A and B are shown apart, each in its own frame.
Chain A
Amino acid sequence: MNDPHASVGDVELHALVDGQLDATRIPAVLDWLRMHPGDALRVAQWQAQRLQLRQLHRSLEVGETPAALTRVVTQAQRRLPWKHAAAAAVLLGVGLVSGLVGGRLIPDGSGDASPHMATAEPAFAREAAIAHAVYTPEVRHPVEVTAADESHLVQWLTRRLGTPLKAPALQAQGFRLLGGRLLPGPHSPRAQFMYEDTAGHRVTLYVTVFDEGQVPGETAFRSVREGALESFYWIEGRMGYAFSGELPAASAMALAREVYRQLTP
């Protein structure tokens, strides 16, 4: 290795071709090539390949970017400020940063809602909002199990959560069930059902089964709004439900009421 001319290997030849050879080694490698025509030929061909490849890449016509690709990014973006704020809040354990601290109390129509304001929504409502933000932008895999076999879907989630579940029917409101997925929760798994209307708006219902003694005290039907996302949550027995959608407040409320009605025995 003491004689630089004796030790020019393939690694240095490639580095020369790729412009990655240490400048101090260039004269020795060029000398080597003068003395080794076989290597000089290979290096010349590698250089030609490199140029051809780069030309090929530059000249490749891929046409207009398909809308489906652009949409992946823009759809995710619409939800990101919210997603980041939520993730940051969970991370810091300080509750949601802004706009979410004061839950709004929604009269549920039966007149029995207590009139005080909630100070913050329970943890499961935050989890629901995050799960909504993460999975609704998915283009090809929004759900883990599709609604093609609804009874299987509901049975599967029922088995995993250990309590009979029901996927509300929202066809009359223009939303069809896409399917559902199982999600991790702090103590037990959660379920998410996703629905879509013909315009592509997606809403989700997030279901939590609380262990004995873990049920949050608050049971009223409440809503929070963060940016475009309208969320409603309530507790029924050991079940916690959160319904989320980026819809005008009135439509979101109407849908949430329907879900509430169907899930309340």
Chain B
Amino acid sequence: MSVEQTLAHIPHLRRYARLLTGDASRADDLVQDTLERACVKWALWQPGTALRSWLLTLMHNLFLNQRRDWRHDDAHASLDDVVEASHEPFSQVGEQMDMLKALARMSPALREVLLLVTVEEYTYAEAAGILDIPIGTVMSRLHRAREQLRALVQSEAAPPATSLHLVKR
């Protein structure tokens, strides 16, 4: 186990978990769980393979286990498409805050695909491997995530009366 290597990944993991969970303290809990799991399962990491991918795989497993319900959602697109109600229907804040809020309102199953592909720049096949789902599911979730984000960001920019309902394409 390379302590230095692992320690060097912590800031990155924390930023990533922050986007994934949408909450600073839940993010650090998730990072702590991930590191604990990594220490216990250390023998399973194959030196030479990407440490960060392995850590992210552990993190996603933990994140998903907390939300087992979302694991089998693909027969029920409506679950994915549910947008969590916002308590601040309209606020005049910066673009980044809009994005942060929009992310927070997106269903976790969609959010994690979007983050792995855009922020982490994994290929679709790698993301499918990390999440242990078929590549077709990666594509459909990515699509729903992006369309949801478009709708959310647009509604964020629109007058408060605008409904948050999504138009399914």
Contact = CB atoms under 8 A, between A and B. Distances in A.
Interface in A2-59: 10-11, 14-15, 18-20, 42, 45-46, 49-50, 52-57, 59
Contacts of B39: 72-73, 76, 80, 137
B3 interface: yes
A118 to B, nearest CB: 28
Contact of A60 (B7, B19, B124, B139): B19
A262 interface: no
Contacts of A84: 43
A80 B1 contact: yes
Contacts of B142: 14
Contacts of B143: 10, 14
Interface residues of A, number: 39
Given A20-B123, A65-B14, A42 B150 contact: yes
B14 A74 contact: no
A66 B28 contact: yes
Contacts of B114: 53
A68 interface: yes
Interface string B91-126: 000011001100100000000001101110101100
A70 interface: yes
Interface in A173-193: none
B165 interface: no
A165 interface: no
Nearest to A15: B124
Contacts of B1: 76-77, 80
A69 B32 contact: yes
Contacts of B35: 69, 72-73
A62 B36 contact: no
B40 interface: yes
Nearest to B153: A49
Given A45-B150, A54-B118, A77-B3, A59 B96 contact: yes
Nearest to B5: A73
A108 B34 CA distance: 44
B15 interface: yes
A18 B10 CA distance: 26
Nearest to A134: B40
A66 B13 CA distance: 13
A182 to B, nearest CB: 17
B146 A62 contact: no
A84 to B, nearest CB: 7
A65 B7 CA distance: 9
B130 to A, nearest CB: 15
A140 interface: yes
B7 A76 contact: no
B86 interface: no
B31 interface: yes
B28 A53 contact: no
Contacts of A62: 11, 14-15, 18, 24, 27
Contacts of A218: none
Contact of A18 (B27, B36, B95, B118): B118
A138 interface: yes
Contact of A138 (B36, B119, B123, B146): B36
A60 B119 CA distance: 12
A65 B11 contact: yes
A53 to B, nearest CB: 5
Nearest to A135: B40
B23 to A, nearest CB: 12
22 contacts: A11-B139, A49-B118, A52-B99, A53-B114, A54-B118, A56-B96, A57-B15, A59-B96, A62-B15, A62-B18, A69-B28, A69-B31, A72-B32, A72-B36, A73-B3, A73-B6, A73-B35, A73-B38, A73-B39, A76-B40, A77-B1, A134-B40
Rank and list the top 9 A-B pairs by shortest CB-CB distance, nearest first.
A76-B39, A72-B35, A62-B14, A77-B3, A57-B119, A60-B15, A50-B118, A53-B118, A46-B146
